[in-house]
Structure 1
Amino acid sequence: MTVRVQPDLSRPRRRGPGRAQVVVWQLVGLAVIVGLWWLVTDGLKLYPGYVFPSPRAVWTEISYGLWGTGPQDGKLLSAIGGSLRRVLTGYVAGLVLGGVIGLLMGAWLPLRATLGAYLTGVQSIPSIAFVPFAILFLGLNEKAVLFVVILEAFIPVALAVSGALLNVPPALQVAGRTLGARGVGLTLRVLLPASVPNILTGLRTSWSYAWRALVGAELLIAGVQSLGSQLEVGRNTANVALVLATIIIIGLIGGLFDAVLRAVEGRVRRDYGLEVTQ
């Protein structure tokens, strides 16, 4: 005889850490990292400044690059503006292109079986591998950068949209058909709205791919105001502090946009009843 043990529903669920507590943990972790960095450089002086600069040297590069008033200052600020303009242009174009292709793949099996497989294979290729082709095909200019960004942005969206449409519960499809939805109407009015939470996950993945592709392409295409060109300037002038300052800014911008998209995704998932607010 099998005895089934019923869960004790009277016991309160264990609450996870609050948002404020998580922020405190993150700030403490940041302080520890900066403290260890200072100890290795200014404290113990294990490395010379031109090999591994101190936090103060990197902060100096950031402050000069963002709000300095000298003739060579403000370069990082203009680089940020140029890179954001390119990545947002390519990202939006990738979302539109990927959304259309994803809808077509989700609705038509032959296209999904062919193009879907090809896109999965192309996604496994590092974005930097497409830069030489983009340069030879479009020239050593901004168009080559946008080509690589759009390519890396639209593939995750197309695959996410196609996969999300296929993973809609059959009960919703039956309910939609019962209410008279057919063909394109069923896709746009039933399947697509039900797929929104999973599609948003693809949008976050698309952003990370596009951002990394942008910086990689900018590294190899000189003559444009960009964060990639700042990395190249730092390398050519042996300015490690500038290189680290640019890397930190790249990480902050990428993390900020990902946090915004993650917040939107969490809100949508709660509205859909996929997550419970503690």
Structure 2
Amino acid sequence: MGDARPASTAPSRLRVLSWQALGLLIIVGLWWLVTDGLKLYPPYVFPSPRAVWTEVAYGLWGTGPQDGKLLGAIGGSLRRVLVGYVIAVLLGGVVGLLMGAWQPLRATLGAYLTGIQSVPSIAFVPFAILFLGLNERAVLFVVILEGFIPVALAVSGALLNVPPALRVAGRTLGARGVGLTLRVLLPAAIPSVLTGLRTAWSFAWRALVGGELLIAGAKSLGEQLEVGRNTANVGLVLATIIIIGIIGGLFDLLLRTVESRVRRDYGLEVPQ
């Protein structure tokens, strides 16, 4: 008899990459057609791909008014978001563990955090500035807040979704209280926690850029957006937006890869 293994219906990684590359070529082609081809908009309103690429080249390695400024802005923004994200993960992890283990805290603080999460991050920027001043601490406050809430809620929810059989097995083997949470429930909840960490990254990254728009003189991507606005340089604005999207996407891909690997190790995902 022949092999009766079911054929995988998931597309290969190479095929997905080819689709993504084709989609990018279509977008850039339409962009070029609207700007350089049909000239539907003047360059100072909607610049061409070549003009935006020129701004990227000047900002990263070229010579010109923006020589090296984008590269410095990337370094400054990454430093802030990584510091804020690490703090948010540590605080959110501890609070999430407490909410998962103690029902009164989950019913009160958990409900408040869910409500706060619905507030756009930019709404906290004025409060942070008035409370901490117009400086990096205000930006870190917003980043930590936006990253902390998804982590805390994800950890708490993941602990509650652990199968009851694992709780019974842990108690049968003598695990109680903190030991049961740390040695049985938390390891079982890791795949769901990683999903929360990925969500927290996206929230923190968006909050960072919004906060940086208000910090004058600091090396940041938000400052580059403000410089482009003040000088009516739409090319610089679009170049900065593209870089923000690329960095955010790369970090999300890294976290998604780790999450997928863990899910395969837990038997929750079939290797392709």
- TM-score w.r.t. structure 2 length? 0.97
Q: Which residue of 85, 92, 99 maps to 1:91?
A: 85
Superposed CA offset, 1:174-207 (max 9, x none): 1111111111100000000000000000000000
- Percent identity of the aligned residues? 82
2:16 counterpart letter in structure 1: V
- Structure 2: give runs of 5+ residues left out of the alignment: none
Alpha-carbon distance in 2 for matches of 1:77, 1:213: 20
Superposed CA offset, 1:75-104 (max 9, x none): 100000000000000000000000000000
Q: How does 1:3-152 map to 2 (within 5 A)?
A: 10=4, 12-70=6-64, 72-152=66-146
Deviation of 1:68 after TM superposition, in Å, equals 1.9
Residues paired across the two proteins, number: 270
Q: List structure 1 segments (4+ residues) > 6 angstroms apart after TM superposition.
A: none
- Structure 1: give runs of 5+ residues left out of the alignment: 1-8
Provide the secondary structure at the position in 2 that maps to 1:134: helix
Q: Which residue of 238, 241, 246 maps to 2:235?
A: 241
Provide the secondary structure at the position in 1 that maps to 2:213: helix
Q: Which moved more, 1:221-230 or 1:25-34?
A: 221-230
- Which residue is equivalent to 2:148? 154
- TM-score w.r.t. structure 1 length? 0.95
Q: Which moved more, 1:186-195 or 1:15-24?
A: 15-24
Please say if residues 58 and 65 of structure 2, whose CA atoms lie closer than 8 Å, have aligned partners that are also in contact. Answer: no
Alpha-carbon distance in 1 for matches of 2:270, 2:66: 51
Deviation of 1:13 after TM superposition, in Å, equals 3.6
Please say if residues 125 and 142 of structure 2, whose CA atoms lie closer than 8 Å, have aligned partners that are also in contact. Answer: yes
Deviation of 1:245 after TM superposition, in Å, equals 0.1
Cα 1:71/1:41, change in 2 over 3 Å = closer
1:59 counterpart letter in structure 2: W
2:243 counterpart letter in structure 1: I
Asked if 1:252 corresponds to 2:246, the answer is yes
Superposed CA offset, 1:97-154 (max 9, x none): 0000000000111111100000000000000000000000000000000000000000
Deviation of 1:12 after TM superposition, in Å, equals 2.4
